[in-house]
Amino acid sequence: MNTDKAINIEDLRRMAKRHLPRMCFDFIEGGLEDEHGLARNESAFDRHALVPRYLVEVSERDPSASLFGRTYALPFGIAPTGVAGLFRRGADLMLAEAAKAANIPFIMSGASTASIEALGQLAPEHAWYQLYGARDRKVSEDMIRRAREAGLSTLVLTVDVPIGSKRERNLRNGFIRPYKLKPSIALEALRHPAWIADYLRHGGMPYLDNWVPYAKQGASVNEVADYLATQTPSVQTWQDLETYRRLWPRKLVVKGIMHIDDARRAAEMGVDGIMVSNHGGRQLDRAPSPLEVLLPITQAVGSKVSVMFDSGVRRGSDIVIARCLGARFVFVGRATLYGCAAGGVKGARRAIDILRDEIDRVMAQIGCPSFDQLGPDWLMAGQ
């Protein structure tokens, strides 16, 4: 598809929907249960208005942002999105390539279809790794070793998956382990010949590469996926965080923090950053939007750790609002995955370019020449 024609992220979403079978698109798009969390994530931004300041020199704008001692060209990165290689073969590394070209960070999912080592070879300066703690703690420790030896700068421990959630779109489609696809779902997939051709050309389901070393020797794609299912979800505790902090000598981020007390405790334990996130509305349907808890958390710990944000971002203005509420950096997941599913590396780059342009236009319109100047004063009082 010609993703250059996309004017906004919604256009890329529609392109991805045309390209993908329904079961795949629903996997990306869906939340859980009644999907109140999905709606709340996006609507939370609607409750905030940006107040413009005019007669300001904004002929040049600087959208760069610093994080962990490094300056990135843009104030957002690419969040981890699992099983991306099913939607476009090689998508994990395509997203990493797009991030590297844009000089922004990319977080490889703990359920990626590419390996830590391949990521380290492609984009070590822009690559982070998301750790889903395994039930066998030796597996987690070995993944940490691999990320360290691959030269990755940052480890992201995701803590908001103590149990699998009830993702009803996947249940209806039979897109769960073990797969039990309904005939109607399989027939619907035939309406997407480009995806079918790509899927068959590469041998069907992709391997979850990072888990291959821990499954039995010579394990099939399904056997590796089954092994992952035996290891995650896994309940993580503060003691596990202490262990990971000890094993990981570089920047450590805890993703999924939503409570002030948890944020304070993580900061006291010496993490470098926390990511305020509700897993894109995919884990607890009645959780608040991360945007609703962002400002209190940044006020509580922002001077001790770098506070980041993800979930619900669809516009450049969303990124600006998150910054005004205290986020040092923002991550987007579905937006870039839509682009990659629709058009590979080119589509991912288009998603980044769309958000870059929108951020730039909003900064000019509100009279803010530098992204690092944004704060609560740019928001309408009383919100």
Return the active site residues. 279
> CA of 182: how far to CAs of 28, 32, 46, 118, 199, in Å?
19, 20, 38, 35, 18
Helices 238-247 and 137-149, interaxial angle, to 10°? 30
**Separation of alpha carbons 28 and 279, rounded Å:** 12
**Separation of alpha carbons 187 and 281, rounded Å:** 29
Q: ∠ at Cα 275 (271, 279), nearest 5°?
A: 135
**Separation of alpha carbons 331 and 65, rounded Å:** 13
**Separation of alpha carbons 103 and 345, rounded Å:** 14
Do residues 362 and 53 touch, judged by C-beta distance below 8 A?
no
Burial of 325 (0-12, 13-18, 19+ CB in 10 A): buried
**Separation of alpha carbons 99 and 345, rounded Å:** 10
Spatial neighbors of 40 by CB under 8 A, at least 6 apart, are 281, 288, 289
